[in-house]
Structure 1
Amino acid sequence: MRITGIRVWQIDLPLAEGSYQWAGGKSVQVFDTTLVALDTDAGLTGWGEVCPLGPVYLPAYAEGVRGGIRELGPHLLGLDPCEHGRLWQAMDGQLKGHPFVKSGLDMAAWDLLGKAADLPVATLLGGIVTPEIPLYRAISQRPAKEMAANLRSHRDAGYRRFQLKVGGDADEDIARIRACRAILEPSDRLVADANTGWLAADAMRVVNAVRDLDLFIEQPCLTYEESLSVRERTTLPFVLDENIDGLEPLLRASRDRAMDMVNIKLSKLGGLTQARLIRELCARLGLLMIVEDSWGGDVTTAAIAHAAASTPSRNLFAATDFNGYVTRSFADGAPRRDGGIMRLPPGPGLGVTPRLAELGEPVFTID
């Protein structure tokens, strides 16, 4: 099987709650996602999707995805998409870094491998070991009472794991955390995610003020060293996200005992191939994991589901149903939330089929 063409669509995904806000006053109202199709001489098409959380979260942006695919695409024509090692050699040989560009192409290659083998991607990633995938809900940064009310509504909808967007004023963040933890049951799980927004001094004020509560602290500061300094002075369990963008940072953090949980974002790492490597190492190291992406729609959510379903239950803290946050669906077969659980779509590959009649012509084609 050989890649004969690449098609790319741009899709707007409006947020159901109007806006999504996190540390530093950052916000997004409409997500700009990129849908990628890899066409082959076998008549099969693989699908991938990449959706950065705006240009100010990670070193990624929507136009960069599409520009990078324009650069990489011609070099992938004629390659066998099922040979992931050769595909990655080709991508790395033609474009240094930029994992967010490669993620959708890698995702589509896994979809093709699953279709060629007539197996779900989760089976190819190690086997379906967690068929009922626990979900978490991210609570956008707002005043404490509003966040608590938002959390309560999502708890009523079935979620039992939550991520609060903090990383603002320390006193306000303390109030946010306490207001939200107060309405949860003991079995519910809460993560306070600062998204690098605190200085170390502010982070210490917060963790000291909430040390009596049952919660995780996620990525308090911009640099690894700052976050490690907070970790070393608190007994609360710790999550790293933005600082873990590859194998070497993970190994360093493991040596330093810098975290208890890792947030694995597919596009941050370059797609399912690299995420699988990080996931397997995290499992061997006894770490908890959140499996997700920076954002996305139906195809990204399907890829998350396959990565999460093949993650050992004891290590999987939660995954994310990003297509449940937005008002637009564009693919048939996409996984949906059932209470606080997500399940794999049926069928081989990722199990989703974009409705191209609704999407119109691609923004560009490489053949």
Structure 2
Amino acid sequence: MSSPAPKITKIAVYQVDLPLKEGSYKWSEGKSVQTFDATIVQVSTDIGVTGYGECCPLGPTYLPSYAEGCRVGIKTLAPSLIGKNPLELLKLNEYMDKCLKGHPYVKSPIDVACWDILGKVTKQPIVTLLGGRFGEEYNLYRAISQGTAEEMRRSVEKYQSEGYKIFQLKVGGKIDEDISRIKACSDILAPEELLIADANTGWLMHEAVRVCNAVRDYSNVYIEQPCATYEENASVRKQCQLPMLMDESMDDVHVLNRIITDKSADGINLKISKVGGLTKARMIRDLCVSVGLAMNVEDTWGSDIATAAISHLAHSTPPRYLLMSTDFNSYVSKDTADGAPKREHGCMRAPEGPGLGIEPKMAVLGKPLFEIC
């Protein structure tokens, strides 16, 4: 006789401040952040297995998400999840969408925590459940905070010495300054290195076209999310000879279908919390693989727990389609879990333990802000 299905018995929510090692992180239109506000979710079951997930928006000005909103949303959603089976991930996601319209970032840490539970129950790492580990490691990029052309060039040189080969340059400011930033950093790259000029929606269409034309002879440059809307980016893509990535506009499978149909981008940024968790991120990842669209697998931000989730999705993605990924836990000065993946020479690998393969540091998490039973 089979064992009864496990049930969710409690959802606890923790808040952790994550100061940046470099002091501040700056991107388009003068936006910046010094300390990230992370929400960590603990999902407990009646079989004694507990899972963890994390959501950390890049402040309230990057996407339609913010840290306090995540916690309020979980407080609204969590009571309806008590008694549900955490192993039935697609069914659970359908139910969450029924109980709370929209707000995918609210659902993401719950979904990831349930993947953690599934891995622990089946004694497998999430990377195996997502399709299997490709190779020994995968490539990381390093985000270069916006500054002068010379400051950004020095940052690229610093991270070249640490083994990174892909650099995401934060542009989206004054056009002449952005062109200088891109050229200064591209000039010091080796042939196998890449520069992603990420405007974070900061340019108007005519400005984006000017930048693309000015740097079109740099074969190692990609343009990322130059303008605010899907339609604007699609227009720029038609006039740009460089590869283009869609990020902020790429928030669900319906947008991905438009990108595929319109050929409006050459790759996407797949952010786990932006699409609602690993369940939906896997759907999008697999569709990209099936049509030959490259991806950057990441999230909005986070600490060890978010980085572990990213690592499992990235390491289970066929290398040909994985353009890059990220190591957010190396940017912040606070560790939230033992066993988290760490970068080595610009690369990373997913943990091998069951589930996420990490153990949260409860002394760092402190007392929960609230618990729903």
Alignment correspondent of 1:348: 354
> How many residues in Structure 1 have an aligned counterpart in Structure 2?
367
- Counterpart for residue 304 of structure 2: 298
Amino acid at match of 1:217: I
* Aligned counterpart, 2:86: 81
Structure-1 separation of matches of 2:226 and 2:94: 35
Unaligned stretches of 5+ residues in structure 1: none
- 2:194 corresponds to which of 189, 192, 214: 189
Q: Following superposition, which runs of at least 4 residues in structure 1 exceed 3 angstroms of deviation? A: none
Separation in 1 of the partners of 2:135 and 2:111? 23
SS in 2 for 1:48: strand
Q: For 1:118-133, list aligned pairs within 5 A.
A: 118-133=123-138
The aligned residue for residue 153 of structure 2 is 148
**1:157 partner letter:** E
In 1, the alpha carbon distance for the partners of 2:142 and 2:367 equals 34
2:239 match: secondary structure: coil
- Please give the residue correspondences for 1:171-182 in structure 2 after superposition, counting only pairs within 5 Å: 171-182=176-187
CA contact 1:203–1:230 (8 Å) conserved in 2: yes
- Corresponding residue SS for 2:320: coil
Instruction: Output the CA distance in 2 between the equivalents of 1:11 and 1:280.
Output: 32
> Residue deviations 1:82-104, cap 9 Å, x none?
00122112211111000000000
1:276 equivalenced with 2:282 (yes/no): yes
SS in 1 for 2:26: strand
SS for the counterpart of 1:13 is: strand
Q: Which residue of 2 aligns with 1:205?
A: 210
2:36 to 9, 27, 31: 31
* 1:87-106 matched pairs, under 5 angstroms: 87-106=92-111
Any conservation in 2 of the 1:159–1:339 contact (CA below 8 Å)? yes
Secondary structure in 2 matching 1:300: helix
Aligned 1:288-367 pairs, distance under 5 A: 288-367=294-373
Q: 8 Å contact 1:192–1:217 — kept in the other structure?
A: yes
Find the aligned partners of 1:358 and 1:288 in 2 and give their Cα distance.
36
Which among 217, 221, 225 is matched to residue 219 of structure 1?
A: 225
Q: C-alpha displacement at 1:234, in angstroms?
A: 1.4
The 2-side partners of 1:292 and 1:333 are apart by 19
**282-291 or 356-365: bigger deviation:** 356-365
- 1:231 — aligned with what? 237
**2:371 partner letter:** T
Q: Distance in 2 between matches of 1:365 and 1:322?
A: 27
Report deviation, 1:127: 1.1
Render the CA deviation track for 1:265-297: whole Å, top value 9, x for unaligned: 001100100000000011111111100000000
The more displaced of 303-312 and 338-347 is: 338-347
Counterpart selection for 1:17 from 22, 33, 37 = 22
Given residue 230 of structure 2, which amino acid in structure 1 is its aligned partner? Y
Structure 2 unmatched runs, 5+: 1-5
- Report what 2:3 is aligned to: none
2:67 is aligned with 1:67: no
One-letter identity of the residue aligned with 1:86: K
TM-score by length of 2: 0.97
Superposed counterparts of 1:40-51, under 5 Å:
40-51=45-56
Q: Return the letter of the residue paired with 1:301.
A: T
Rounded to whole Å, the distance in 2 between the matches of 1:6 and 1:226 is 41
Rounded Cα–Cα distance in structure 2 between residues aligned with 1:85 and 1:7? 22
Provide the identity percentage.
56
Matched position secondary structure for 1:145 = helix
What SS does the aligned partner of 1:338 have? coil
Q: Is the 8 A contact 1:130 1:310 kept in 2?
A: no
**1:353 Cα deviation (Å)?**
0.8
**CA–CA distance in 2 between the matches of 1:178 and 1:111?**
43
Q: How far off is 1:130 after superposition?
A: 4.0
Quote the Cα distance in structure 1 between the aligned partners of 2:105 and 2:162: 32
- Within 2, Cα distance between the matches of 1:358 and 1:137? 26
Distance in 2 between the 1:363 and 1:121 partners?
28
RMSD over aligned CA atoms reads 0.7
Asked whether the 8 Å contact 1:130–1:311 carries over to 2, the reply is: no
How far is 1:343 from its partner? 1.0
TM-superposed CA distance for 1:310, in Å, is: 0.5
Under a length normalisation based on structure 1, what TM-score does the superposition of the two structures give? 0.99
AA aligned to 2:273 is S
